[in-house]
Structure 1
Amino acid sequence: MRWVFRFFVAGIFVLIAAVGAELLLAIVAPKPPATLPQMLPYREFTKQYLHPFYFFFFPRDEAQIAAINNSVVSIDGRGFRGALPEDRGDKKLAFIIGGSTAFGHGASSNDTTISGYLNKQQDEYLFVNAGVPSFVSSQEFTRVATELLDYRPDLIIALDGFNDAVTAHGFAVHNLPYPPGTNESYEGLAQRFDNIREQKLVTINKSRLSKYLFFRVRQKIKKLFSGSSDNGQVVAELPPSMQSQASDAAKAYLENLALIKDLSEKRGAGFVAFFQPARITDYPQRKEFLNFFRSKAGEHKAAEMKLVDLSWLSDREDIFLDSVHLTDEGSRNIAQEIMKNLAD
């Protein structure tokens, strides 16, 4: 039995060593950059609440909305930021849809979002901000179909593409079998609920827990044997499987835009889509996935649908707060580009 005792003691020492190594790696690991002051008023607006049509949305309780609204960012009970549809007066009504960039995450006020600048730059339309952080094109389509067209708008503008691409990339990296167009955070629902009719609530997901157990130690061992460098230096070239997933995601993105266009035109509204600029510097493979997605979207774009590629603005470091969110100057620039293309 002595060997059993020795084996047990050796196991204890290995466990202690692993815990010590994990703590040491945590101490010496580069700390994430501090949250920009511009982002602090938006903290509560990044939380995702269940919605019967859109999967995730802003909170719907009026008291909760009033509690998170502040002097920088505020929404009404329908999730509109800034000008409201009923403020149109004699103007034509326009909506801008998209994710957090369209919403204006990081803007210094409701008036310095893209929709805010659009309302300053022209008098023909009243632009209503219907952007929602994390939304992908499938959620945008659902919102247009179930809500926005009821206001009888004259124009709908989409500023998107980034979320569709990076969400698809995240699912591809983790081998999650979700179809193209699946929204961000869907895996969170899938991990918590299984066979909902039997009310089986998964309180602890073991596979998710194991992913974080000795995470840094396992990453170091993986790099030691694979010879790969830090995550920020991943080889950018996409493997064929990811190229296929990026192409499928781009196709789904375009199909959603085409559906929005067809529905809008059936109800008398024009539709123009803009592929948003982004400045990814910390993850080369994600950047390559986004670029491949964008190129495929350009190839497959239907001739009758106007999709304006604004990715050429991605080199303008001065207009970005981070990889995708804009400074006030960035929002003003995007608004100007939208107006130029509407005039064509």
Structure 2
Amino acid sequence: MDYSFGRIRTENYSAVNTRWPQPFLGFGDFKELNSASESLESLGYRALEFGYIYDDEKVIHYLHERGNFLFSDEHVDPKKKNIFLVGASAALGDGASDHQNSIWRNLENLLYQKTSDYQVLPAAIRAYNSTQERIATELYLFPIKPNRLIFFHGFNDANQVESLARPGDPYNQGLVYFENSNLLFSFLKLFSEQSNIINSVFKNYIENSISKRSSELLSRTEFYSGYVQSAAHIYMDNIGRVNRRCQQEGIPCYFILQPYRRDTAGTVIEDIYSKINQLVENQNQLKKGINFFDYSDKYANKKSLFFDVVHLNDEGQREVAQDIYSDILQK
């Protein structure tokens, strides 16, 4: 988690620049975003002395018609059949040495061996969960009429235990509420932005306080069980609704529960994944079919493929791309 209060931080293993958050998608308080690479003018606003206003004469048809493509440093090619890898940092390519070794680039290269008709791009923002992906898909992807959507995600839905955000909410959402309702918090935040020492002390205090409280809550059997079920149900509701919208739009959608290193992650993530699999099986038995793949078991013992607990290294990105190609795109 990052509690550095306004200090923009980007991990040194980031393979692709994340776009500046646009309207509707910037909720939450996870400070791991690069600054904007496009101007505010390109987002549909013009500068005044003390602000920006909309004064473009161009007729707007869709919300996504602003700036460069939201999720990638590369533009969507309208002449290609577009396939988007939807998710968060793992789908974006974090862990790879550069974007040429990412899952999505490897997928595109595999497709190029047979045809150059396809373009594969990451529709991914670091720290997103299935709720935010659902919004992004509706507002930014469906209007583009993609050939396919492949969701590579799930870990962030299960990995809220550090901050204990309400299942389905963005990382650190509780801190956002606290910041907006507590004057002392706002005061200390202001000072933390002026001093690295104050920022470090304040950050450590909050981390330790939340971690202690999280451990206390998760040690209670009823709370633990309820949290696991809630996280799984929210994830299932989100992908179920996205799946129905995909069917309405006539766009094939696939959902992959992303792998992670079980030896370094808590048991709560494994329990949430297990509950998700039960819910998916129930849905498919009711003939509400979801194209679902769980890659967590397949990679459970392949520690050498991971950069850290959830991000894959170059070899891991290639192997996952090959599996996605075999399971989904080759058929």
TM-score normalised by L of structure 2: 0.69
More helix by share: 1
Amino acid at match of 1:306: N
Q: 1:128 aligns with which of 121, 128, 131?
A: 121
> Equivalent residues in 2 for 1:285-296 (5 A)?
286=266, 288-296=267-275
Alignment-derived partner of residue 202 in structure 1: 186
Deviation at 1:202? 2.5
Percent identity of paired positions between Structure 1 and Structure 2? 22
Q: 1:278 aligns with which of 260, 283, 288?
A: 260
> Equivalent residues in 2 for 1:59-138 (5 A)?
61-62=36-37, 77-81=68-72, 83-86=74-77, 89=79, 91-122=80-111, 123=115, 125-138=118-131
Does structure 2 conserve the Cα–Cα contact (< 8 Å) formed by 1:264 and 1:270?
yes
Amino acid at match of 1:170: E
Q: 1:42 aligns with which of 2, 14, 21?
A: 14
2:154 paired with 1:161: yes
Does structure 2 conserve the Cα–Cα contact (< 8 Å) formed by 1:119 and 1:125?
yes
Does structure 2 conserve the Cα–Cα contact (< 8 Å) formed by 1:194 and 1:200?
no
Deviation at 1:243? 2.0
Q: Give structure 1 regions of 4+ aligned residues with deviation exceeding 4 angstroms.
A: 43-46, 48-51, 56-60, 208-211
Q: 1:300 aligns with which of 279, 294, 302?
A: 279
Alignment CA distance shift 1:200-1:156 (3 Å): farther
Alignment-derived partner of residue 251 in structure 1: 233
Alignment CA distance shift 1:77-1:203 (3 Å): farther
Q: 2:141 aligns with which of 144, 148, 151?
A: 148
Alignment RMSD (CA, Å) = 3.7
SS at structure 2 position matched to 1:341 = helix
Amino acid at match of 1:62: S
Q: 1:316 aligns with which of 302, 306, 311?
A: 302
2:179 paired with 1:192: yes
Alignment-derived partner of residue 53 in structure 2: none
TM-score normalised by L of structure 1: 0.67
Structure 2: unaligned runs, 5 residues or longer = 1-9, 41-66, 190-200
Does structure 2 conserve the Cα–Cα contact (< 8 Å) formed by 1:98 and 1:160?
yes
Does structure 1 conserve the Cα–Cα contact (< 8 Å) formed by 2:83 and 2:150?
yes
Deviation at 1:45? 5.6
- Return the alpha-carbon distance in structure 1 between the equivalents of residues 135 and 184 of structure 2: 28
Structure 1: unaligned runs, 5 residues or longer = 1-37, 66-75, 220-230
Q: Deviations over 1:87-122 (max 9, x none)?
A: x53x42111111110001121222211110000001
Alignment-derived partner of residue 322 in structure 2: 336
Alignment CA distance shift 1:203-1:150 (3 Å): farther
Deviation at 1:154? 1.6
Q: Deviations over 1:202-254 (max 9, x none)?
A: 2337xx959729x69xx8xxxxxxxxxxx9xx9x9983321221111111101
Deviation at 1:269? 0.8
